[in-house]
Structure formats: C-alpha cells, structure tokens
Structure 1
Amino acid sequence: MPFDGMFTHAITQELNQELAAGRVAKINQPFDNELILTIRSNRKNKALLLSAHPNYSRIHLTTEKISNPATPSNFTMSLRKHLDGAILNQISQVENDRIVNLFFNHRNDLGDSEDLVLSIEIMGRRSNIILYESGSGRIIDLVRHISADQNRYRLLMPGAQYLAPPLQETINQFEDVNKTLAIVNELMTKYPNYETLAGEIRHEFQGFSRDTSLEFAYELVSRKESREQIIKDFLTNFDNPVPTLSMNDQQKYYFSPYEPTQLDNIITSEGFDSLSKLLDRYYLQLANQDRVKQRGKTLIRVVHNDLKRNKGKLKKLQQTLENTKRADEFRIKGEVLTTYLSQVERGMTSIELPNFYDNDSPLKIELSNQLSPSKNAQKYFTKYQKEKNAVTFVTKQIKLTKQEIDFLENIESQVELANPDDLDEIKIELENQGYIKQKTTKKKRVTIKSKPEKFISSTGTSILVGKNDSQNDRLTLHTADKQFYWLHAKDIPGSHVIIESKNPDETTVDEAALIAAYYSKAQNSANVPVDFVQVKNIRKPNGSKPGFVIYEGQKTFRTTPDLKQVLALKQ
C-alpha cells in the first residue's frame, strides 16, 4: 500500500512509543533528500530516517548503515545548531494526513529554552522536511526551498512564516466513530458495490489510498458483523498493526499494517516485528538503487556512453568483416587471369575465362582498359592481400571490442548491484583503466581494499561474494584456497562467489548458486544458469581486464534468485 494517511497514523504511534523523551545524539544528511537523526532512548541509540524523496518519502527507524558525505550540508549544520542534544517530547500526526511533527525542546546559545518543530510532509514530489519555531512559526531551515513563484499558496524559505498544507474538508475517522458510522451507512445505501464504495470512502474520509479504501469497503460489504464493529476492527489494524510484506505473482512487493485481502495475485506474505523493520526491508532495494544513481551519476554516464560507443564500433567492425569475405574471390580472379594471360588483350573492359575452381561455369572478370593484362592480374592480387590483412586486423579489433563490452557490462552490473559505499572502488577501477580522467595525478590510484560480502549457509559454511572487479580478482586469485569452490552466473555479468570449503554439502552449493544468481545481471530472472568449479581450475589470461577469468571442468546449476533467502543468509 502507499504511505497514506492511515499508514502514517500507524507509524506515528510506533515512533512515539520508541522515541518519546529521547535525546538527539547525532544528525546526518547522507543524501540530498534524506535525514537521519540518531536519538538516544531507553539507553539505546536509534536511527530515525526522514526522507523527502519524491518517490520514496517516508519516516521510520532504520538499521541500515549509511555513510555520510565528508562535508555536511547547510541544512545539516542548521539542524545541528538547533537540535543537537534536544529532547524529543512528542511525535504527532496532523489530523489523519501525511504530515508528522516532531516536537523538540532545546537550549540555545544563551541558555534559553526554545521549542522547535521538525515537520516531515510525506507528499510525493512536494515532500519536504521543515524546521520551524513552535511559537512564532518562523521557518529556520528546510530541505527544499520553495519560492512564491513555485507555490502561490505558501512560501517555504528560511525566515518565512510556516503555513501547513491545506487540509481537505473530510472526516477524521479516528476521532469520531459515530459520525464515521453514519456516513458509512449512507454511502452503503447508495453504493452497494464495494469498488464504487471504496472511491466514495476516499472522498469522505481522511488518509485513504486506493488500496486501503478497497480493503475497508470489502470488509464492510462482506462481513456479517455490525458496521460499527467492522469500523472499529478496521481502525484497530492501524492502532495495533500486524506489519506484513506481500509479493504477487509478478514479484511486486506491497507493505501494509495488516494481512491484505484485496491486492492482486498475492503468492507470499512475510510478517515483521515492527512497521519500521517492514519499511526497512521494503525500501532496501528501491531506495538503494536511487542512492546509487545519486552518488554514481558520473560512473553511470561514463559506462553508458562507452558501452554505446563500443557496441556501435562492434557493429561496424562486423560489417567490415562481412565485406572482406570477397578476398578469396579477388585471389581466384588474379590466378585465373595469370593462367590465361595470353587470351587477355590490352583495352578490354571484361573477359570470360574458364574457372578451374568451378568447371561448370566460366568466370567473368572486370578489367581496366588503362592497364596491361599482367597489371590487371596484379590488381586483383593486391586487393586480395589488402582484404586478407583487413581480416586479421578486424578480427583482432572485434575480439578487443568484445572484451571492452564485457568489461563495461560487468561494471554496469556492479553499479546496479552496488551499495553507495562501493562506488568509490568502482570509480578507481575506471580511472585505472582510463575510462575516467584522474584529476590529481597521472599515477594509477591505489585501489581501496574493501572486504567482500559474507554469507553463512544453512549448514554453517562461509560464502564470500566479490562486489566489484578488484574484489573479484583478490577473492578468486589471491585469497581463496585452491581447493575451495567458485561460482558465477554463466555467460552473464556478475560477482565471483567463493564457498570456503573443500567439500561443500549440497545445501551450501544450492545456496551459493542462489547468491551468485542474485548478484548478477540476471537478478530478476528465473532459472538462471550458474557455473560451479574448483578455484584451482580458474586462470586469468595475461593482459585481460580486471575481473575476467577463464575456467574448465565446471558443472552448471540452475536457480531462481530470491531476495528473502539471500538476506536470511547474510552475515
């Protein structure tokens, strides 16, 4: 379900229970639209994520480890000045809308107490995080500055008066159940069809998205209990949620505070201890992909442009190679002319001669009337030699270009699968290979020796995964025991996977194959082939690109990547 007003009601209650009376210990802004407040509550540090991302705006606790930029933003500095060490008194929702206010008390530089509000407006592309004074409403700072030209209703700039978004004239069903019941009775009389009823519910009540209104309408129409009881039960889903992650047959995920019944073709559901853990899991890939796009814009552009250029070059080379197939034709014509040179007269423009390579038909040969018979023959031998040399050159260039494409597609896959922290090492690799110009020195930068991802199989065996070419080379060629086993998606860009065992059991091999398929370009495919071979059978050709190896004696397994299983094995 979307992060609507109903879900906001549920998450606000959870955050209030977890964080109220906590003290702000750290403030960081790892990405343009994301803020993380570390709040010390009940003797534990808890990371509160506030995101004003246009597609993934939300608020929840997170356990994800996110690195911060070397230089804090102006907004971060403003928050640190006013909220560092502040007490979080309360977290509340505005009506049943997608606005959450965090009320802080803080002592300023003069030692005077000041009440501040940090407000997050979860409204798609209009989402924002705003710090303002509780009494005067003066805006101190905000993530996105909105001028009067951009929004005529309200000015969102430092120093301006904070004005909340306009509220719709609808009923807050959590505040007045009796009025809610009366309106529901009236609507059900007019609209007995639950889908039509769902649309009217969205018009009359606050905070209902399409998915939530369909669930509510279906319960009203299908259940036999009194409507008052149905309403109370449905609202209880948000006061006492059962966090659920569901997946349909198209592998699309949905999050909800209850077990949904009206989502299309649900095939699996997974429960969580809290709404925050549910959201952490749901946004794991979505938000991570977007973070990588933000931090890796240059890498993505360079790889995309070089891939496009090399694929265009390969197409032209293959066409040139196709054209060189006439080389033998030139040779045959030269030999035939030389054999029957006595029959050729100067001034001829063409001649038909017996073809001793094909006795069934004569061979027509074009001639230059400006050349002697022997010069005409020599002309064909010259063309033959030129085409023959071209075949050698073009074949070599095709091989080199295919290697470039394989390398770049592998880098492209690594960027897609990377965490934001992995991008620095990928960038250095591209610099060392000459794809990105180094700004500071002509010497190759020393590659950061980061550690591979570690997994533990169900039977306790360690499985290591290289996340980029440098890691892959170190892991496979230098770190791994020659008796260990290596896996890689077959003929597909992806990570090197090492099973740290000389005799792995079947379960470990199956799980390692699953991990290898997941950390490849075929991550979202089914029935992915994965090669399995001992490390001793792997070699790296001289002069080959980082991450490239050849091997023999492999077995091939087929598996379907599954995020849930991969996360369950992660160390």
Structure 2
Amino acid sequence: MFVDSFMLAAVTRELAAFKGSVVQQVRPVAPFQVALALRGRDRQRRWLTLSAHTRYAHVSWQETPLPNAATDHADTLRFAETLERTLQRARLLGAEQVDFDRLIALRFVAVTPLGERRSLTLWCEIMGKHSNLVLVDEERQVVVDALKRLSTTQNRYREVRPGCPYIRPPTGERRNPLSVSHAELEQIAARQPMADASDWAKWLFGVSEPLLALMQEQVAAPLTQPTAFWQALQWLRVVLTHGAFALTVWRRADGTVFACYPLPKQDGQPPFSDCPPDLIAERVEAFGPALAAWLNALMQREAVEQRRRSLLSELQRQQAGVEQQLQELQRRWDEAQDAERYRKWGELLLTYAHAVPEGATEAVLTDYDTDPPQTVRVPLPDGKTPVEAAQHYFALYRKLKNAAATLPSVMDRLRQRVFELQQQIERLKAAPDAAVQSWRSQTTPASSSATPADAPVQRDGDFWRFVVANGYEVWVGRNAEVNMRLLRLARPDDVWLHVKGAPGSHALLRVKKRGEEVPHTALEQAAQIAAYFSPRRTAAWVEVDYTRARYVRPVKGQKGLALYTHFKTLVVEPQLPPQHRHG
C-alpha cells in the first residue's frame, strides 16, 4: 500500500477547489486507471486521475495534459466509456473522504437528454488489491457500473455489478479516528491491550505506519497507551481541520523521486522505514500533482522491471535450450567417433551370414584382420536377418560419418550462440530503463524474424517459392494437400527435403537439368528453409533429410505423409535465405 488515508486527506482538501467544475472528457490512461478532464469556473482545465491499480491505486490531479497512453485493457475501456456517456457535462459538487478511510466519494450532478437532473457518486475505493471505482446512481442507490465487476462467487460480502445495490467495502469493527472518544479508546485497549502502535489499525481507519511515526513525535509516551494515542489524535484533528500540511517531495541524488507525503518528520526526513541516505527534501505547493508524478514513475519503473525480468527469462530459456542441444550434439559427436565399429560389424555379418544361427540375437564372429584374430560379438536388432542387420549397421555408419563432417561447424555455431546469449543477459541486467523498452528485437533470433505470411517471397498457387544459391528454386508446401501436390509436380531428379522425425512442410529443390549434382550451398539453404517451415523453427539446429524425388512416395490414405529412401541428412540452422529475410 503506497497511498494511505493521510495522503488522501491532503488530496481531498485540494479537490475542494474543483467544486463546480464540469467534466469535459474521460480518458482511459492505463490498465485500471482513468482520467477526467475538468473545466473549472476559472476556465482552467485540470485532469483528475483515478486508479484502482492493485499496488498503486490513488486519487490525484494535475494541470498538465496527460500523455495519450492508449490502453487495450477491456475493463478499463468499458468503464471509461460508461463514465464518458454518463458524466459528460456533469458538474462536480464536491469530494468527501469517508470516516478517514481510504474511501473517497466524488459527487456529481448530470443533466439527462430529457433535461432531468441526475445525482451520481463515483466511489474511489483505494484498498490495495481490492481497489475499485464504482459509479452509483444516488436516487436509486444502485451501481451504474464498476471498473472491476464482482459477482457473488468472487466476493461473498457484496456484489458489484450494474443494477445491484451499492454496499460499502467491509469495515469490520473499525471506526473513524477523528470522532472516537477517549473513553472509547480506553475500552478498546481494555478489550485488547496494544502490544504495538500498529495494533490500533484493527480498530480505527487510516492508521498507517508513516502516520504513526508522525503521531509518535507529538507525544512523549508510547502510542500503545490510550491517553498518548488520544493526545496524538488531537494533533491529527487540528492538522486536518486547518489543512496544516507541509507538502514535501524527497528526491535521490540523481533527481528521481523517492517519495512524497503531506508532512515530514521533525528532522525533515520522510516518515518511512528503510529510507536511503542523502535524500533531498523539496516543499511543493500542491500534493495532487506530486502524488501523481511519484506513482506514475513507480508504475513505469515496475513495468520496466517486469519487462526486464520477462526478457531475461526468455534469454535464459533460449540459452538453456541451446546448451541442451549442444550436449546432445556432443553425445552424437562422441558416438560418431565409433563409426568404424559399425562398418566392421556390417562387413563381418555379410562375410559370415551363413554361419549365424537362425533366430540368434547375437552373432559371435572372428575378425581375422587383426593380429592376432579377435572374437567379435555383434548384436542383431530384433527381427532382422544377418544381411538386414549388416545393412542397418552400414546405414548407421554412413549417418555417423556424415554427422562427423557436419557436427563440428554446428557445435561451433551453438557455442557462439551461447556466448552471445550470455552477453545479452549481462547487457540487459545493466541496461538503463529506456533501453529495456526496445530490447525485444535483440532477443528474437534472426531465423524467426520473418513469418510465412510476411516473407517477401513469390506465391505460386498454394505454395511458396524461394530462390537459393546458384539460382535454384525451392518450393514449399503450406498444408498437407499442397505437400501432395508438390510430389505430383516433382521431376525424378528434383531434391525433396523434410525435417527428420517431425511434421512440417515438404520442400522441393528444382534441378536445372537431369542428373546434375546440386551444389552443397544450395542444398544447405533449401534444408534451412524446410527447417524454418516446421515446428522446430526456433531450435538452434535441425536435422533435415533429403533425397531425389524418385525415391519418395505418398502413403495411401494418409494425406501429407510420405515414405522415402536413399536419403542423406543435413544439420542446419532454421532460417530463410539472406535475400528473403527482414531487417
């Protein structure tokens, strides 16, 4: 809670000067915050700001125009429209703080299109997470609308919805400290002895820690004693009756506002705990503008820090993902170092296939290429004959050899990405507030900066066409039906590409002549496109299989699925070709 009853009392006293002002405009300023433009009898325009923010709820005012900070918060827009429709040209009759509570009633009189006078009260309930703004028809004593509509399932004490009777927020046994008697204080203390001065808050409205700090300076005895507390209340009544405030703003050495309060302590310091040293006190003529500036700065600061935390979380998530991918690649690299073993197993199985018993799960063979000859135990995958197992190990050997050729460069890129992300994290932690607002573009990988909908590519029917290195065209399907159409249009020597082990668009690299070998750069860019148009777009690396179109056939009855053979695998970073990227 940043705004207490003493601060609201200072604002309410200033609002007395607005009596007779006419509402000219209502504007939604931020989520749970609206502003009323009032034109006074002196023809001056002032902005009355009302906020039901969970942390920074307040009532304040200022003379300078509010910035056009449009908000898309649905409840705020709805309530602002209701106020605009109901209070347009209404006249402010006065502002009242009820029972020294954090409850302010703004009373208006409006004239309906039929010329009838209508009395309305805008209740400002400044109560932390329960804060609300409620417009009430005084004649019918029903709610016209509320910024936060509450049903009985949300609040068992009262229902705050249009047409419901207005019920004040629950008060418990608390009472107005400005009207309580000395005898009543003694009765309260007898009923429950005060272990701490803050215990009075259970019985009286508006008893906050800053106010208690000021009250304690007015008496010698502890405020836990009823008589001492009564004497301090007499001082408070005099201050409020005569408006004997010393409106003060405290600034840090860099000029930023630390706090504001209607009265300082006797040493000139703010009545708050944990105040930084070397604060500079500044007396101000009006409390409303100072309060608005302070709370708006706090809200902006909190929004920046929330954004900073969100961006840091995203960067750290990306970093953890890349590190996990790097670990997986390292495991595969270690496995690739053993590729020769699988080649040897395949050769031994082909050589001694006739000697392997039928149904065996392991072949015990002799390798005569070693000196001396060694016995080798070769596992046989379930259901495979020795020849089929040999083909399996040859395929695994080729895959690992291919990985051994491509993995080092991919791992280097991943290590560089981890380093870049760590640098961004460190810069973001130290970045000034203004820089945090424009940080999003730095956290988004270049590979995802363009989307299929806005990529500057040519569209041919229902698929996209890209131009990659050496002038080759790559066609990409946009759905399962178009993927099948690509297969029908493919020529036997065209190169078909698809992400390994995941759904995604089919890609087709169109060759220029039969039997030609496509340059590796063109193949790599085509694979990057296929990876980009897949659910793995945000990964640091993706495996993409490619083969000639003659080795691809659709699965009957399974739209979008295809079987393929004679394939090789590339490991690439998902992205569009350079000429098709934004920014």
User: Smaller-chain TM-score range?
Assistant: 0.5 to 0.7
Q: 2:415 aligns with which of 371, 385, 398?
A: 398
1:491-518 CA-partner distances (Å, limit 9, x unpaired): xxxxxxxxxxxxxxxxxxxxxxxxxxxx
The alpha carbon displacement at 1:428 in A equals 12
Tell me the secondary structure at the aligned position of residue 391 of structure 1.
helix
Summarize the Cα distance change of 1:348–1:167 in structure 2 as closer, same or farther, 3 Å threshold: same
- Kept in 2: contact 1:23–1:85 (CA 8 A): yes
Q: How does 1:70-85 map to 2 (within 5 A)?
A: 73-85=77-89
Alpha-carbon shift at residue 402 of structure 1 (Å)? 4.6
Answer yes or no: is 1:164 the counterpart of 2:168. yes
1:434 aligns with 2:434: no
Structure 2 residue aligned with 1:206? 205
The corresponding residue for 2:105 is 101
Residues in 2 aligned to 1:309 and 1:222: alpha-carbon distance in whole angstroms:
60
Match of 2:292 among 280, 285, 292: 280
Q: Whole-Å Cα distance in 1 between the matches of residues 111 and 94 of structure 2?
A: 17
Q: Counterparts of 1:283 and 1:349 in 2: how far apart (Å)?
A: 84
Contact 2:335 2:400 in 1 (8 A): no
Residue-by-residue CA offset, 1:291-345 (whole Å, 9 max, x unaligned): 6799x8xx997985575145312343266458858999999xxxxxxxxxxxxxx
Give the Å deviation of 1:131. Answer: 1.0
CA 1:418–1:132 in structure 2 vs 1: closer, same or farther (change >3 Å)? farther
Tell me if the contact between 1:39 and 1:47 (Cα under 8 Å) persists in the aligned partners: yes
Q: How does 1:403-552 map to 2 (within 5 A)?
A: 403=420, 417=434, 434-435=448-449, 437=451, 441-442=454-455
Cα pair 2:2 2:55 within 8 Å, conserved:
no
SS of the residue aligned with 2:45?
strand
Q: Note closer, same or farther for the CA distance 1:92–1:300 as it changes in structure 2 (3 Å cut).
A: same
Matched with 2:119 is: 115
Contact 2:21 2:39 in 1 (8 A): yes
8 Å contact from structure 1 (residues 35, 49) kept in 2 = yes
* SS of aligned partner of 1:161: coil
Change over 3 Å in CA distance of 1:183–1:140 after alignment to 2: closer
State the match for 2:144 in structure 1.
140
Contact residue 102 and residue 206 of structure 2 kept, 8 A: yes
Q: Equivalent residue for 1:258?
A: 263
| C-alpha distance in structure 2 between counterparts of 1:157 and 1:416, whole Å | 39
Max Rg structure: 2
Distance 1:269 1:403, change over 3 A: closer
Matched to 2:157, the amino acid is Y
Q: What residue number does 2:554 align with?
A: none
Which SS does the other structure have where 1:221 is aligned? coil
CA distance in 1, matches of 2:70, 2:309: 21
For structure 1, list consecutive stretches of 5 or more residues without a partner in the other structure: 332-345, 354-365, 371-378, 445-541, 548-571
Do 2:249 and 2:261's aligned partners in 1 also have CA atoms closer than 8 Å?
yes
**TM-score, normalisation: structure 2:** 0.55
Match of 2:247 in 1: 242
In structure 2, the residue matched to 1:49 is: 49
Amino acid at match of 1:67: A
Q: Specify the alignment match of 1:530 in structure 2.
A: none
Letter of the 2:321 partner, please give it. G
Identity %: 19
Relative to structure 1, the CA distance from residue 270 to residue 132 in structure 2 (aligned partners, 3 Å threshold; closer, same or farther) is farther
2: CA distance, partners of 1:443 / 1:95: 65
* Distance in 2 separating the partners of 1:149 and 1:188: 37
| 2: CA distance, partners of 1:134 / 1:436 | 56
Once structures 1 and 2 are overlaid, which stretch shifts more, 397-406 or 89-98?
A: 397-406
* Partner of residue 26, structure 2: 27
172 and 381 in structure 1: CA distance in 2 versus 1, 3 angstrom threshold: closer
| Alpha-carbon distance in 2 for matches of 1:427, 1:38 | 37
Partner Cα separation in structure 1 for residue 425 and residue 235 of structure 2: 55
Distance 1:311 1:130 in 2: 47
The residue type equivalent to 2:34 in the other structure is: L
C-alpha contact 2:121 2:136 (8 A) present in aligned 1: yes
CA distance in 1, matches of 2:122, 2:333: 70
- Which residue pairs with 1:314 in the alignment? 323
SS at match of 1:199: helix
Larger mean CA deviation between 200-209 and 48-57 belongs to 200-209
User: How far does residue 50 in structure 1 lie from its aligned partner after superposition?
Assistant: 0.9
